[in-house]
Amino acid sequence: MQRTGLFLFLLCITFFTSGQQPDTSGKMTLLEKAPMGLVRFYFDDYYYLVDKDCSFKSIERVSQFLVDKNVFHADFRDFDRNGTVVLTGYHNAGVKEGPFKAYHPDGTLKWEVTFEQGRPIGDWKYYYPDGKPMITVNYDQATGRIMSYWDRRGKQQIKEGNGNYMFRMPFAFYNEYGYPFFERKGRVRNGLPRGYWTSHLVDHQEKKILYTEEIFDDRGVLENGYDLFLDARYYTPMALLPTPYFYTAERLLSKPCTFDDHSGFNTYLSEKFSAMLRSSPTLTNIEDKFSYEVSLDEEGNPTDFTLKDSLMTKELNRYVEMVLPEIPFYFPSLDKAGNGIMDTLTVYGNLSINDAGQFHFHSFRIEREKQP
């Protein structure tokens, strides 16, 4: 993904001062002029900017835009592919203010909240598609607290911040577990998680498998988390609430129109490399690029891989070669009929090592030999 703030600034300067849309041949069209001095922005499902003709474009935002500050301003509306309003709100020079409301595809209210100086205040209320209440989270204190929760049968499981919570959420992006959902379950006291919590992976046939175990203290702080798949401890809790992706729009991040980017697979590669290769006491302050080729069968299983463009030291190359066999799957290339085909992928990545020797792999992209 890319930070596109400077690009947006220069692009806006061009067509706001000339009164015409700039020549963007060979470039992504991420925004365009709209009537009455407004600007139309093009986003995917997760509020990353994408080209207006990209097949993953799913949201259009119409808003004022302050070019000199590179921020949204005044009232805005977001529309889905069918032209239905999915979100409304207001920015004061980039700062969220007043009521924000999101809607299900049929137009029923999905959630509502009020912002003050960019922060939610009072109750953030979530609703099921049939209009019945789902979750109420209160933000009168520094930490959001789950005050009410109703399950899908309409039974209230949490009242006045106390009760039992079991809520299913989809994985937003690619994961190597092969399950589309994870389910959070645990006890809530005074609006905060307390004691023993679990996460289960869930498939479309309702098959469940234990994924994580967590222990929260009396303050609702995670004391210990354990990932059973990675056999590793962690100290940042998994999500408890539906993810409000609209926050991403304010960062003005863009994605190329490829499935590897849209699905989050390139981000997965970044996290996979960074998790396995964390640091080296002998390597510091390095910026470098590398690439490798991987051969795939029709189902996306790697059959061979070769480091192509090497890093600057043999030690770094050895580290990268250690990770390659640990990546069990890539999305297969497809023929015109949508069937998987054998192909060779070239994967490009960047490596940054800070002055403490910590590794950060980023900016992955994939080129396919047989599929553009």
- My answer on whether 219 and 272 are in the same domain is no
- My answer on whether 61 and 166 are in the same domain is yes
Model confidence pLDDT, tens digit, residues 143-176: 899 999 999 999 999 999 999 999 999 998 898 8
In this predicted structure, what is the pLDDT of residue 26? 53
- My answer on whether 21 and 128 are in the same domain is yes
Distance from C-alpha of 115 to C-alpha of 100, rounded to nearest angstrom = 7
Closest CA to 123 of 217, 218, 220, 191: 191
CA dihedral 249, 255, 258, 263 (to 10 degrees): -50
Model confidence pLDDT, tens digit, residues 7-63: 454 455 444 433 334 334 458 899 999 999 999 999 999 999 999 999 999 999 999
- My answer on whether 266 and 168 are in the same domain is no
In this predicted structure, what is the pLDDT of residue 17? 38
Print the domain residue range for 328. 258-368
pTM, to two decimals? 0.85
- My answer on whether 198 and 243 are in the same domain is yes
184, containing H or E segment: strand 181-189
The residue among 229, 250, 271 that closes a domain is: 250
Domains in the chain, number: 2
Low-confidence ranges of the chain (pLDDT < 50): 6-7, 9-10, 13-25
- Please, are residues 32 and 22 in contact by the beta-carbon 8 Å criterion? no
- My answer on whether 239 and 265 are in the same domain is no
- My answer on whether 208 and 270 are in the same domain is no
Q: At what angle do helices 314-323 and 265-276 cross, to 10 degrees?
A: 120
- My answer on whether 245 and 307 are in the same domain is no
- My answer on whether 195 and 265 are in the same domain is no
